[in-house]
Amino acid sequence: MIRSIRLPIRQLRLPTAGLAATGSRSFASAAARRESCACGSNTHLTYPDFKLPLNTTTPLSTTGPSLWRHIILATGPKTQDTWPHNPNKDPDSIAGVLEKMQKERPDAREKPIMIGLATLPKSTVEGMERLWVFPEGVCVDVSSADVESGRIDVWRHLLKPSEELEEMFGPEEGEEGGVILICGHTARDPRCALAGPILLSQFLSPTSPSSQLPPNWKVALTTHVGGHAYAGNVIVYSRHPKRGVWYGRVTPCDVEEIVGRTVRGGEVVERLLRGVVEVEAG
């Protein structure tokens, strides 16, 4: 069950800029092949030519995020081609307003927040937008009504301590799951634009029972998370334990291991690890 707060914020619009002028659409639609790959399987998708170089030498452990929270606006399935190059710079978008407010916080440097978009399902309630707050893994529907004074109230809810967020917006028993976010920002960089949809297909098309996601888990593409040169970039936000495991250099061959070890087993795949975002203690 999704909890809602009807705290009005200024009428805001989702990014609608297409990619006709970016020339990036061809990368997102590049055909993946299902053939024998490095691991010897003939059931994994493989990447076409990335066109741009990948960084294969820098230790991934030095590339991880330094985040307190990751706030995601759900834009609906298959919307990645509508995302502009930098949605957070659009002052009339929800992402732009959230970015402005988070930068104006007095503790912005001590508690960094990343604002992004994802192809997660939108709110089914008219006039509401759905926000996900990680690593807590809670989501809340907020009103997009045209009342500017409510914006700060919405933001204060998103900044509440983890315990209060859980109490107000945590999932009901039996509805808990997790969210896997894959960078697939078409307008930002061709490497993640190419890798993202292929990894999404691999996560959604398991090659064995052990690679099937548990109930209530979601997989979506997301906007820039940093490190396009480490594509594919995958974040596993779990509820038990409550954290986000950031992976880089993920290939379709790695999906089954990520599902088995990280999603189901709560372990970390060290060779792919960029960093971990955890709920703040206390």
The label of the residue with tokens 């949605």 reads 87
pLDDT of res. 27: 42
Contact call for residues 143 and 131 (beta carbons, < 8 A): no
In one-letter notation, the amino acid at residue 209 is: P
Beta bridge partners of 45: 34
pLDDT of res. 210: 72
pTM for this prediction: 0.86
pLDDT of res. 254: 95
- Separation of alpha carbons 234 and 52, rounded Å: 19
- Separation of alpha carbons 139 and 166, rounded Å: 10
| Domain boundaries along the sequence of the chain | 3-16+62-169, 178-278
* CATH class of the region 178-278: alpha beta
Residue 69 host element (H or E): strand 69-74
Q: CB 13: neighbour CB atoms within 10 A? A: 11
List all residues 6 or more positions away from 197 whose beta carbon is below 8 Å from its beta carbon. 28, 32, 80, 184, 221
- Separation of alpha carbons 92 and 11, rounded Å: 8
* Burial class of residue 253 (count of CB atoms within 10 Å of its CB; 0-12, 13-18, 19+): middle
Half-sphere exposure of 89 (CA within 13 A, CB side): 5
pLDDT of res. 170: 78
Within 162-279, residue ranges assigned H as helices are: 162-169, 190-204, 255-257
> CA dist 282 to 161, 162, 164, 166, Å?
9, 9, 11, 13
- In tens digits, the chain (282 residues) has pLDDT values of 444 444 333 333 344 333 333 333 434 444 555 554 566 666 678 898 888 999 999 999 999 989 999 999 999 999 999 999 999 998 877 788 888 888 888 999 999 999 999 999 998 988 888 999 999 999 888 877 642 333 556 777 788 888 888 888 877 655 678 999 999 999 999 999 999 999 999 999 877 777 789 988 999 999 999 999 999 999 999 988 899 999 999 999 999 999 999 999 999 999 999 999 998 765
CA dihedral 201, 204, 209, 214 (to 10 degrees): 150
- Separation of alpha carbons 268 and 236, rounded Å: 10
Tell me whether strands 33-34 and 45-46 are parallel, antiparallel or unpaired: antiparallel
pLDDT of res. 40: 63
Helix (H, G, I), strand (E, B) or coil at 264: helix
